[in-house]
Amino acid sequence: MAILDRPGYRAGMVLLVAALVLAPVWLGRFIFLLNTIGIFAIGACGLTLLTGLTGQISLGHAAFMALGAYGSAALARAGLPVPLAMVGATALTCAGGMVVGLPSLRIKGLYLAIATLAFQFLTEYALIHATGGVGALSVPPLGVGRWVVRTEVQFYYLLLCVWLLAGAALANLARSRVGLVWMAIRDRDYAAQVLGIPLLHYKALAFGLAAAYAGLAGSLWAHYQRLITTEQFTVGASIDYVAMVVIGGLTSIWGAHLGAAFVVALSQGLKIATPALTAVVPAFAKVVIPLREVLFGTVLIALLIWEPGGLAMLLRKLKRKVDLWPFAY
């Protein structure tokens, strides 16, 4: 718990966990919001690891999520118990991520971003063809034997455990030897190599783990939605992921969670507000999706210009203010 270095923050953390545990009480029927946020936060953790810590830009994160979702669905439909299918799909995506990451030795920066973008489109195409042109697949619910998750609240508690574990794993990974190596690669990979770091090993590891996070998120998403289509994993979703980690704060371990909460709350909030607003302004229903895109773009640009550290940096600044209060220095 050395990350939480002050009693106040420890109390805050306890409060946060308590609020999350008691969420079904105070959120009521809106608990699906937290379910969605949790799943995307797990996926975004992977992108924080890959882009924030290791400095490899990926515009194909949703493709890994799709691999996890379709893999898990296929394994579960083949008769494997669902938890095993999820583990299998995550491992599969991890291996896939390593393979996709291999070219990152030769191509980097912009070119890598473009290559992952191409990977995203090819995966979409392959999935549509593999599922017979529609891309839709029904998925069995989460559960073991006769015990099956039926309600949103049951799913929420399962998800919460996975979410906390995934977040804690990332936080600790970032502080470990491996995390430090990744940061060295991010800052200058040639220099890191000169210092004796095997680039292939660590870049492949970063891609593999990032893909595993996305795959886990994908398989959770599949068993949560019960019906998956390729439309859920388009390049737009990939860019949403990038938006999440940037809005949340790229190099912060809290970034993925804050960003996922922000992005999901914004788009779901628009969706929830649509009926009420349509009653007043009938044209609103037609522009809600374009409006979401415009809002997203504007928030992203504003943040990148004025606060490149994202929400996590804003939070840290607030923390500093509180620490130093009532003296400014």
Partner 1 sequence: MIEFAASGLLNGVAVGSIYALIALGFALLYKSTRILNLAHGELVLFGGYLAIALAQVLPFPLAVTVTLLAAAALGFAVERAIMRPLFGQPLLSVVIVTLALGYIVRGAMVGIWGGSTRNFPPVLPAGVVRVAGIPLQAVGVYSAATAAVLLGAFWLFFRYTLVGISMRAAANEQLTASTLGVSLRRVFAYAWAFAATAGAVGGILLGLWLGVNFALAHVGLKALAAVILGGLDSIPGAIVGGLAIGVVETVVGGYIDAHVIYGFKDITPFVVILLVLLVRPYGLFGTEHIERL
Question: Interface with partner 1 by CB under 8 A: which residues?
Answer: 51, 57, 103, 106-107, 109-111, 113-115, 117-119, 121-122, 125, 128-129, 188, 190-191, 194, 239, 242-243, 246, 250, 286-287, 289-294, 296-298, 300-301, 304-305, 308
**What DSSP line would sit under 98-145, residue for residue?**
HHHHGGGGT--THHHHHHHHHHHHHHHHHHHHHTTTS--EE-PPSEET
- Residue placing its CB nearer to partner 1 in the complex, 12 or 198: 198
As measured in angstroms, the least distance from the Cβ of 297 to partner 1 is: 4
As measured in angstroms, the least distance from the Cβ of 192 to partner 1 is: 11
As measured in angstroms, the least distance from the Cβ of 107 to partner 1 is: 5
As measured in angstroms, the least distance from the Cβ of 260 to partner 1 is: 16
Q: How far apart are CA 17 and CA 11, in angstroms?
A: 10
Whether 92 contacts 272, CB under 8 Å: no
**What tokens were used for 83?**
């938890």
Q: How far apart are CA 130 and CA 121, in angstroms?
A: 14
Is 148 strand, coil or helix?
Answer: strand
As measured in angstroms, the least distance from the Cβ of 58 to partner 1 is: 10
Q: How far apart are CA 182 and CA 189, in angstroms?
A: 9
- Residue 315, Cβ density class (10 Å: 0-12 exposed, 13-18 middle, ≥19 buried): middle
Beta bridge partners of residue 228, listed in sequence order: 137
- Residue placing its CB nearer to partner 1 in the complex, 23 or 245: 245
As measured in angstroms, the least distance from the Cβ of 147 to partner 1 is: 42
- Residue placing its CB nearer to partner 1 in the complex, 220 or 246: 246
- Residue placing its CB nearer to partner 1 in the complex, 72 or 104: 104
- Residue placing its CB nearer to partner 1 in the complex, 20 or 299: 299
Whether 258 contacts 251, CB under 8 Å: no
- Residue placing its CB nearer to partner 1 in the complex, 189 or 261: 189
